[in-house]
Amino acid sequence: MADYNFQEIEKKWQSYWDKNQIFNAEVDHSKPKFYSLDMFPYPSGAGLHVGHPLGYIASDIITRYKRLQGFNVLHPMGYDSFGLPAEQYAIQTGQHPALTTEQNIQRYTEQLKNIGFAFDWSKEVRTSDPEYYKWTQWIFMQLFDSYYDKKLNKAVKIDSLIAFFEKEGNSGIQAVCDEETPSFSAEDWNTFSEIRKQEILLHYRLTFLAETTVNWCSALGTVLSNDEVKDGFSERGGHPVERKKMMQWSMRITAYAERLLQGLENLDWSEPIKEMQRNWIGKSIGAEMVFQVKGQDKMIKVFTTRIDTIYGVTYLALAPEHEYVDDLITDDQRSKAEAYVEVAKNRSERDRMSDVKTISGAFTGSYAINPFNGEEIQIWIADYVLAGYGTGAVMAVPAHDERDYNFAKHFGLEIRQVIEGSMENGSFPGKGGMIMNSGFISGMEMKEAMNKAISFLEEKKIGKGKIQYRMRDAIFTRQRYWGEPLPVYFKDGLPYLIEESDLPLVLPEVDKYLPTEDGEPPLGRAKNWTYKTDQGEFPLEKSTMPGWAGSSWYFFRYMDPKNTEKFVDPKNEKYWGAVDLYIGGAEHATGHLLYSRFWTKFLYDIGAVSIEEPFQKMINQGMIQGRSNFVYRVKGSNKFVSFGLKDKYDTSAMHVDVNIVHNDQLNIDKFKAWRPDLADAEFILEDGKYICGAEVEKMSKSKYNVVNPDDIIERYGADTLRLYEMFLGPLEQFKPWNTNGIDGVFKFLKKMWKLYHDSHGQFQISDEMPNKEELKTLHKTIKKTQEDLENHSFNTSVASFMICVNELTSLKCNKRQILEPLAILVSSYAPHIAEELWSLMGHNESIIYASFPEFKEEYLVENNHEYPVSINGKMRAKLTLPLSLSREEVEKAALEDPIVLKWTEGNPPKKVIVVPGKIVNIVI
């Protein structure tokens, strides 16, 4: 083979890898394990674009490197294949989502295989496969069957809770439950009906059915999670979203709030992602206390982080949705207050939180009593108070809280300072000022004052210290078709689990993928969507699980994907353990990455897995943006003017498909074929070319800047694509896809290929011993590559390969002892060419069985030194001498140097100073 025929080489090795299944990983206790995971894709109809494989290439490089180091590597791939787009497509076309999903998966797999990934395809999982979601349903059942024991600080079987209730009722139990759970004694419990018992248990179960305020999107006909809603509109499709109360399944993730927070400490993740999770969890340490309403037997409970400011409270503020609002509004305030509540309720929480400028509120007409000083204070309704946080009511301290301050200013309410430094003079509290004008806590520091105030609350039984989390329980159902059915049926209106032996509960067929006429989810259309028990036939749950269900545990299934008895065999799970490197997008910071941590902790609690944190180290790759190209149409004409001349005309820019532009030059014939309607357009050229403008934007179909990896591979090969994606810049950075530099990378591979071939293109390497320079080039590259791989600095490695190949080319080096290790170094990045060269060098086994070359420091040590020689203080000559020479030998060599001789004219100098390894100074 003469030339670097990448097409042939790549096909050959891809089919070799496939046939020999060399990347299949099985438990092997003789080797250390390395579990490398990529966030699995949703197989969309559009296929992969060049941005998608970026992270996969990086992790592929790491896994190949780890194999060379002797690790047993698990590097799987699969599909997160339930989801809305397939369902929307099904609604439009009537095609079953399973069908389109299957087609999309085939295309994805083909595209991924073209890139030469070292995936263990035998471990592939698909979340929409009944054999997979059987176990998603099984985990749901375990959650339903468990409650959170605060004393043991873990999930425990619900049976032990029932046993406790039978003996002692629920007053002594330390369990996480809903706020409004009623108290009962053992006698009560034992006389409760079955229905009542089940109702009570729902307050404790880790997945439960309850009336919840949800984000309802009527255009999509479904509930959305908070992270699927952006500024009051659905993230997909941009449809309006409203707040609505509905019966919904939820996951009691709040039970795990503290563990989710603490667990972050030991994870090797980027600080911004950890911080996002901390903020999402939102831990606040404070106090809860009640204020008696004057003249009514109502108590308003507030949550405050600053109980030390209690003497500065000048009013209470309630969220418009607060349950007491109606009762508190007095007749003389009614019309104004009710009108206000109506408007305020319809603003989303997000708007209310982000909008600090609009100040609105209404006085209820009622008063509350501050138990610390007996003062009567006004009760207001204010939409800056959120219904879903704390108790939905605040004690307002205008002198020391910004929102209270703005509100009080606006409505002319009292502002009373109780800490040194106040809002009035631009100083926030919490900076350690002394408490003043505050009865028995005057003169104290903040901490002490808080402790004293909390003791007072506890003594009077009107409050207590309280830790509050901002995080809410996670809503778990969607009114959609293409998702996992919940393994639940209803008897007497209450949910029961189906038998484990009846799993999987397979998604039924429906005539249409739309809600029913009476607004039921699509499963309402299924015939016989019922469950038969000895007691009769009962309706099954009609909602399905959300997108995040299947992805919350897939990393376990990869370890043992075909197991029909368990979701993973403990032996496999113990061996593979936590993911050693997780690569994926930062956009999952508060969704997937929290939910999977939660499920893992739960599975750990019930003894199903041995780890508490699924992803030990994570890297978030930056997005590859599109580089759009533009042509410039002269307004009102059919003429297009080249970029450099466009300012001479009145033009409008138009996106043009980047695939018909090369190095910013437009292929005019292809343009005409692309837009037949513009086939008769005229082009005003510069230097005979039509040059396009360019801009960096999101990669998207509508901007015609999507680049398909298949096209790059056809033109340059997968090895070039892989190297080039890494060469674009640091992995974590956002960067535009700019093919202008891709030729350089391609040339590098051709140059490397040439090193192993003679001038006639014949493979030829020599068994001669390498010289020092060649060894130095090689070892410099080994050192750099290894350092880069350890630091995940992929772009710099590519640069060092290029330098290495350039140096070896100038040294005309074709020695086996240099070129074998070089092929190994490059093999993680450009595996196809490396395999080919490796086999040409006479190896019968894949290069993945080679060992990573050992770096030897000795080859980098300089043996010679270039001595500057000065004569009478002026630098006159340079002398390269071995470092091993003695002072006398250096002096002798210097004095014999022809240039020095010219100056000394052969006479002995007055003085010679030699600093070995540095300089020579001669005085004549």
Stretch that binds ligand ANZ, among 166-174, 356-364, 396-404, 436-444 (CB under 6 A): 396-404
Per CB under 6 A, which of residues 458..477 are in contact with ligand ANZ?
468
Closest CA to 485 of 145, 202, 141: 141
Residues 272-301, one symbol each (x = binds ligand ANZ by CB under 6 A, - = not), give ------------x-----------------
Query: Phi, psi at residue 720, to the nearest 5°?
Result: -65, -45
Cβ partners under 8 Å of residue 246, min gap 6:
211, 212, 214, 216, 223
With a CB cutoff of 8 Å and minimum separation 6, the contacts of 364 are 318, 325, 328, 329, 330, 333, 337, 378, 379, 380, 381
Q: Which amino acid is at 692?
A: C
The rounded distance, in Å, linking the Cα atoms of 491 and 469 is 34
Least Å distance, CB 410 to ligand ANZ, is 16
Pick from 397, 631, 660, 890: which binds ligand ANZ (CB under 6 A)?
A: 397
Asked if 825 is part of the footprint of ligand ANZ (rule: CB under 6 A), the reply reads no
Q: How far is the CB of 78 from ligand ANZ (least distance, A)?
A: 39
Q: For residue 401, state whether it binds ligand ANZ (rule: CB under 6 A).
A: yes
As measured in angstroms, the least distance from the Cβ of 635 to ligand ANZ is 53
Smallest gap, in angstroms, from Cβ of residue 165 to ligand ANZ? 32
Q: Which of 392, 495, 546, 584 binds ligand ANZ (CB under 6 A)?
A: 392
457 binds ligand ANZ (CB under 6 A): no
Asked if 809 is part of the footprint of ligand ANZ (rule: CB under 6 A), the reply reads: no
What is the biggest distance separating any 2 CA atoms in the chain, rounded to whole angstroms? 121
Residue 523 CB neighbours (<10 A) = 23
Check binding of 383 to ligand ANZ (CB under 6 A). no
The answer to whether residue 429 forms part of the interface with ligand ANZ (CB under 6 A) is yes
Does position 173 interact with ligand ANZ (CB under 6 A)? The reply is: no
Q: What's the closest the beta carbon of residue 358 comes to ligand ANZ, in angstroms?
A: 15
Q: Which residue is nearest to ligand ANZ (CB)?
A: 284
C-alpha–C-alpha distance, residues 279 and 520, integer Å: 36
Helix (H, G, I), strand (E, B) or coil at 893: helix
The nearer residue to ligand ANZ, 291 or 389, going by C-beta atoms, is: 389
Task: Provide, rounded to whole angstroms, the least separation between the CB of residue 280 and ligand ANZ.
Answer: 12
CB of 473 to ligand ANZ, least distance (A): 16
Contact 309, 287 (CB under 8 A): no
Residue 817 touches ligand ANZ, criterion: CB under 6 A: no
- Sequence-distant (≥ 6) Cβ neighbours of residue 201 within 8 angstroms: 158, 161, 162
382 vs 745, which CB is nearer to ligand ANZ? Answer: 382
| Interface residue with ligand ANZ, options 207, 304, 417, 828 (CB under 6 A) | 304
Shortest Å, Cβ 234 to ligand ANZ: 25
Q: Is 882 helix (H, G, I), strand (E, B) or coil?
A: strand
Cα–Cα distance, 732 to 387 (Å, whole number): 38
> What is the number of other CB atoms lying within 10 angstroms of the CB of residue 847?
24
When asked if residue 406 is in the footprint of ligand ANZ (CB under 6 A), the reply is no
Strand order in the sheet with 33-38: 72-74, 33-38, 581-584, 618-620
581 DSSP assignment: E
Nearer to ligand ANZ, 267 or 310 (CB): 310
- Indicate whether 390 belongs to the interface with ligand ANZ (CB under 6 A): yes
Strand partners, 126: 79
Q: Are 626 and 703 in contact (CB under 8 A)?
A: yes
Site for ligand ANZ in 517-556 (CB under 6 A): none
Residue type, 683: F
Q: How far is the CB of 24 from ligand ANZ (least distance, A)?
A: 50
**Window 738 to 777, contacts with ligand ANZ (CB under 6 A):** none
**Footprint of ligand ANZ on residues 82-141 (CB under 6 A)?**
none
Q: Which is nearer to ligand ANZ, 305 or 793 (CB)?
A: 305
Distance of CA 898 to the CA centre of its chain: 68
Neighbouring C-beta atoms of residue 835, cutoff 10 Å: 24
Q: Are 184 and 196 in contact (CB under 8 A)?
A: no
Take residue 120 and report the two structure tokens written for it: 């263990």
Alpha helix stretches (DSSP H) within 463-528: none
Q: Among 125, 155, 209, 385, indicate the residue that binds ligand ANZ (CB under 6 A).
A: 385
Q: Are 830 and 723 in contact (CB under 8 A)?
A: yes
Q: Site for ligand ANZ (CB under 6 A): which residue of 223, 260, 290, 395? A: 395
Chosen residue from 44, 305, 616, 809 binding ligand ANZ by CB under 6 A: 305
What's the closest the beta carbon of residue 372 comes to ligand ANZ, in angstroms?
A: 13
590 vs 777, beta carbon nearer ligand ANZ? 590
Q: Buried (b) or exposed (e) across 86-110, using 16+ Cβ within 10 A? A: bbbbbbeeeebbeebbbebbebbbe
Could you say whether residue 870 binds ligand ANZ (CB under 6 A)? no
Instruction: Give dist(CA 375, CA 785) in Å, integer.
Output: 72
| Cα angle 124-699-716, degrees, rounded to a multiple of 5 | 70
Q: Does 309 bind ligand ANZ (CB under 6 A)?
A: yes
* Angle separating helix axes 97-114 and 84-93, nearest 10 degrees: 130
CB of 427 to ligand ANZ, least distance (A): 11
CB atoms within 10 A of CB 824: 23
CB atoms within 10 A of CB 425: 7
Residue 320 is a binding residue for ligand ANZ (CB under 6 A): no
Does 453 help bind ligand ANZ (rule: CB under 6 A)? no
What is the closest distance, in whole angstroms, from the C-beta atom of residue 102 to ligand ANZ in the complex? 47
> In the complex with ligand ANZ, which residue's Cβ is closer, 395 or 656?
395
| Cα distances (Å, whole numbers) of residue 713 to 11, 120, 176, 304 | 11, 22, 55, 60
Residue 594 interacts with ligand ANZ (CB under 6 A)?
no
Nearer to ligand ANZ, 33 or 403 (CB): 403
Q: Which stretch binds ligand ANZ (CB under 6 A): 393-401, 451-459, 670-678, 901-909?
A: 393-401
Q: In the 8-state DSSP scheme, what is residue 445? A: -
44 near ligand ANZ, judged by CB under 6 A: no
The binder of ligand ANZ chosen from 42, 208, 291, 303 (CB under 6 A):
303
Number of residues engaging ligand ANZ in binding (CB under 6 A): 18
| Nearer Cβ to ligand ANZ (154/283) | 283
How far apart are CB 401 and ligand ANZ at their closest, in Å? 4
Q: State which residue, 401 or 897, has the beta carbon closest to ligand ANZ.
A: 401
C-alpha distance across the termini of the chain, in Å:
65
What are 630's strand-pairing partners?
655, 693
Residue 689 annotated as lining a ligand binding site:
no
Q: Which residues pair with 870 in a beta bridge?
A: 875, 921
| Closest approach of ligand ANZ to the CB of residue 397, in Å | 4
3-class DSSP state of 485:
strand
Stretch that binds ligand ANZ, among 41-49, 303-311, 712-720, 900-908 (CB under 6 A): 303-311
3-state secondary structure 630-647: EEEEECCCCEEECHHHHH
CA distances 307 to 303, 399, 400, 464, Å, are: 9, 14, 12, 10
Least Cβ distance, residue 251 to ligand ANZ (angstroms):
22
The DSSP H or E segment spanning 399 is: none
Query: Which one of 397-405, 530-538, 739-747, 860-868 is the stretch in contact with ligand ANZ (CB under 6 A)?
Result: 397-405
Q: Can residue 314 be called a binding residue for ligand ANZ (CB under 6 A)?
A: no
Tell me the binding residues for ATP: 701
Tell me the binding residues: 701
State the residues that interact with ligand ANZ by CB under 6 A. 284, 303-306, 309, 385-386, 389-390, 392, 394-395, 397, 400-401, 429, 468
